[in-house]
Amino acid sequence: MYVKLAINNASKAVKDYLIYFITITMCVSLFYAFTSLSSSGYELITEDTFNFENLKKMLKYSTYFITAILALLVAYVSKYMIKRRQKEFATYILLGAEQRVIALMFFVEMLLVGVLAIVCGIFVGTLFSQVVTAMVYMSTRQEIVFSFKLYWDTIGITFAFFIGMFCLVGVYNIRVLNKLKLIDMMNSSRVSEFKFKRSKRVYTGVFLISIALYSIFVYSSKFILDSKDNASGSNSVISTNQMLLVELVSLISFILGTYALFYSIAYILIRIKEKWVNFRYEGTNLFLLGSIVSKIKTAPILMATISLTFLGASISLVLTLLMSQWSLGFLDYRVPFDIEIRTAYSDFRKDEKRSIHKIEDMPEYNYSQVINHLENSGVEINEYEEVEKYFIGEDDFYKRDRYDTPALAISLSDFNKLRSMQGYEKVHLDNNEYTTQWDRTTEDTEIDKYIKENKVIKVGDKDLAISENTYYKESLGEGIYNFPASNVIILPDEICKKLLSAGVNLFVTTDNKMSYEDAIKFEDEYIPTWFENNNKELMKNYDDSYYFADASIKSAETSEIVNATLGMRILGLYLGTVLLMISLTVLALSQLTDSIEHRDRFEVLRKLGIEEHKISKIVLKQISIYFIIPVVIGVIGFVVFIYNFYLVYESFIASYIGDNLFVLNMIVGIVLMIMIYVSYFVGTYYTFNRNIKN
């Protein structure tokens, strides 16, 4: 009988469970979409140049962890449902039902609605999984192929995970319901008015503190702008660290300011309401203001937490999209050639084991062996170039300070060969000229300063003037630079013959791609062995050849970067959506609880002759303001945070993302947030009206 009653109640109360149903359905759909990637029947990419095993594992376990957070949300929703139906439960008890049976019946209801939400979520998740699939194919630049199919192992995992969550929360709810007293159930809708516990000076002081903290938060943008203007050359790294520290301080001040604001804002609003007499008594404003202030002052910590959760969701959604696009852009800059072997003679961290201390110890490089090995391994070589690097002066070999790392030189012929391999035009220099190649993230002000200070340089016994084309910034990879130096000096070939060698890099373009496994084997096994065999005397004094020569294979780098970017995009999207749903669900349920506790207020309005459509307007205004206040605070924090982030990394964003893609990723994240926000707002408005009418 009770089971039948639970089933009937669940079918009749679907509208009561609307917010719960929406939340669980969205969570299940996202969980299913992301977990399906690790299904045994799901194939991401069949090309052997990609390896997604690490991505599958990362998504699988990270998804479990993020979804587990939802157990707290399910418990919170259950608390609301218990509060809403306490009078109904009390009626059952008065009619003779045992309290433990009522608790079990409520558990069955929640479980039935949860199972229905899981079923709907799986079908919606099938659509979401196609979005995730499209993200994978777009990241790997493959043709998008949709495949609408169910993965039974993923369906089993989804049911087991969420039903297990429902059971854990259900057991807790049973204990809560068993401990409730009948008199408390009958009087559950009666709440006492909140009274301020502190003096007006305390609330005014806290409000002023919040204004000061917000001022620090906003001032951070000006400080970062000033730091960017003063940053150049050797102090650019220090300035970046200062700007990041300011960004952290601004974020902390925003968090503290938000809690201080909501702790004191109710008192400030009451004082304003008392002095703004005309507005207060206009129409139904007195009722509306009273409802809003009452809600804010009874739950200030909750409101502040909602704002910060919304901020976290916004940052997670947008920033991970930006960072993933950044990584893809960095890949094109980092490895423009299919195969690259980079050499170094020192480590800027001053690690003794990573630096060569004597000029006579400089390694030897026999790349003919490497070329033969690649050809014998089935690599179809298109072009290759051995680029020798030189010290401008012999003293440069001994400069090991990070902020005074010397720029190395390469010959004009090698430079033109690299440019030709990348499709760029060749460069011309007279015998008494030089030019420069710069990392494309370097600020133009820094380049201009360098050129102004080095219009003429002395190389050996000859003076060279800067050429008409003073610098180039086309991407030739990061291995050509003597990190952390961000430029290379281009000299005529005849002059380079008299200079001390600083190492030789190999650049290769191919007509086919190496498989991921072959590329990793080449990087980790062949290159160290090759280097050690060619420098046996040198390796007696050092531990690892990796410090002096390492390989970068574009196919392997692409696979690893794509894994990382997909992981960031998918998990950022999931985490941001979960945080957004948590904040909006708490907002919604807080309002719906208010509709239960203060239902009699709306009855008074009806008895006073207020028409039903005007009451609906009051409800709409109340929910709108309650939804807007914490969200606006979170949006302000998000806008300032993203603006500061853009200021700190403006040159990197311009180089690796581009302003258009930066805006596009922002729009994608914002549109997603708006869609979720509107769905919760509409659901809350509908349920609120239903609660005050029934």
User: How confident is the model at residue 193, as a pLDDT?
Assistant: 44
* Sheet of strand 381-391, all strands in order from the earlier edge strand to the far edge: 456-459, 462-472, 433-438, 487-491, 409-411, 381-391, 500-510, 339-343, 549-553
Comparing 510 with 185, the larger pLDDT belongs to 510
> From the CB of residue 370, how many other CB atoms can be counted at a distance below 10 Å?
22
pLDDT digits (tens, 9 = 90+) for 326-350: 766 677 777 788 899 888 877 655 5
Whole-number Å distance between alpha carbons of 184 and 175: 16
Is residue 331 situated within a structural domain?
A: no
Under 8 Å between Cβ of 485 and 438? no
**pLDDT at residue 169 above 50?**
yes
Q: What confidence tier does 414 reach under pLDDT thresholds 50, 70, 90?
A: very high
In angstroms, the CA 330 to CA 557 distance is 11
The pLDDT assigned to 389 comes to 92
pLDDT of residue 233: 46
For the residues 38-42, what does the mean pLDDT come to? 69
Query: How confident is the model at residue 11, as a pLDDT?
Result: 55
Determine the distance from the C-alpha atom of residue 313 to the mean position of all C-alpha atoms in its chain, rounded to a whole number: 9
Tens-digit pLDDT profile for residues 516-560: 888 888 888 888 888 888 887 777 776 655 567 888 888 887 777
User: Which of 384-398, 614-628, 646-660 has the least mean pLDDT?
Assistant: 646-660
DSSP 476-498: --STTS-TT--EEEEE-HHHHTT
- Quote the CA–CA distance of 325 and 664 in Å, as a whole number: 11
Instruction: Tell me the angle at which helices 18-35 and 152-179 cross, rounded to the nearest 10 degrees.
Output: 150
Q: Is residue 572 within 8 Å of residue 317, measured between CB atoms? A: yes
3-state SS of 597-646? Answer: HCHHHHHHHHHCCCCHHHHHHHHHHHHHHHHHHHHHHHHHHHHHHHHHHH
pLDDT of 232 strictly over 70: no
Torsion sign across C-alpha atoms 127, 132, 137, 139:
positive
Q: What is the pLDDT of residue 417?
A: 93
The boundaries of the domain holding residue 110 are 1-188
Say what the pLDDT of residue 678 is.
Answer: 83
Please report which residue ranges of 276-366 form alpha helices under DSSP H: 277-280, 285-298, 300-334
Question: Where are any strands of DSSP class E within 43-121?
Answer: none
Give domain status of residue 295, yes or no. Answer: no
> What stretch of H or E contains 253?
helix 236-275
User: Which pLDDT score, from 0 to 100, does residue 133 have?
Assistant: 72
Residue 360 in tokens? 């006579």
CB 549, CB 346: distance < 8 Å: no
For β-strands 500-510 and 456-459, DSSP reports them as unpaired
CB 692 within 8 Å of CB 600: no
Q: Report which of 680, 454, 520, 457 is spatially closest to residue 51, judged by C-alpha positions.
A: 520
Considering the chain, what is the average pLDDT of its residues? 77
What average pLDDT does range 494-498 have in this prediction?
A: 87
Mean pLDDT of 141-164: 78
Domain boundary among 463, 490, 512: 512
Q: What is the per-residue pLDDT across 61-79, written as a single tens digit (0 to 9) for each?
A: 777 777 777 777 777 777 7
Within a domain: residue 472? yes
Give percent above pLDDT 70 in the chain: 77
Cβ distance 673 to 317 under 8 Å? yes
Q: Does residue 378 belong to any structural domain of this protein?
A: yes
Q: Is residue 686 part of a domain?
A: no
Residue environment code for 234-270, b if the CB has 16+ CB neighbours within 10 A, otherwise e:
eebeebeebbeebbeebbebbbbbbbbbbbbbbbbbb
Contacts with 15 (C-beta within 8 Å, 6 or more apart), sequence order: 687, 690
Q: Which two tokens stand for residue 458?
A: 């002395």
Give the pLDDT of residue 287.
58
Per-residue model confidence (pLDDT) at position 192:
45
Q: Indicate whether 240 belongs to any domain.
A: no
Domain boundary among 488, 512, 536: 512
In a domain, 466, yes or no: yes
Round to whole Å and give the CA distance between 213 and 572: 29
Q: Which residue has the higher pLDDT, 196 or 626?
A: 626
Q: What's the total number of domains in the chain?
A: 2
For the cut 60, the answer to whether the pLDDT of residue 10 exceeds it is no
**Residue 318 in domain:** no
Query: How far apart are the C-alpha atoms of 243 and 240, rounded to whole Å?
Result: 5
pLDDT in tens, 374-387: 988 888 999 999 99
Q: Please state, in angstroms and rounded to a whole number, the distance separating the CA atoms of residues 654 and 646.
A: 10
- Helix axis angle for 300-334 and 659-693, nearest 10°, is 150
Say what the pLDDT of residue 268 is.
Answer: 66
pLDDT of residue 347: 63
Burial class (CB in 10 A: 0-12, 13-18, 19+), 660: exposed
**Average pLDDT score over residue span 245-252:** 82
**pLDDT per residue over 576-628, tens digit each?**
777 777 778 877 777 777 776 667 777 777 777 777 777 777 778 777 777 88
Task: Return the pLDDT at 146.
Answer: 66
Which residues have C-beta within 8 Å of that of residue 477, sequence separation ≥ 6?
333, 334, 335, 336, 337, 340, 507, 552
- Tell me the mean pLDDT in the region 344-367: 71
pTM here is 0.67
What pLDDT does 546 receive? Answer: 58
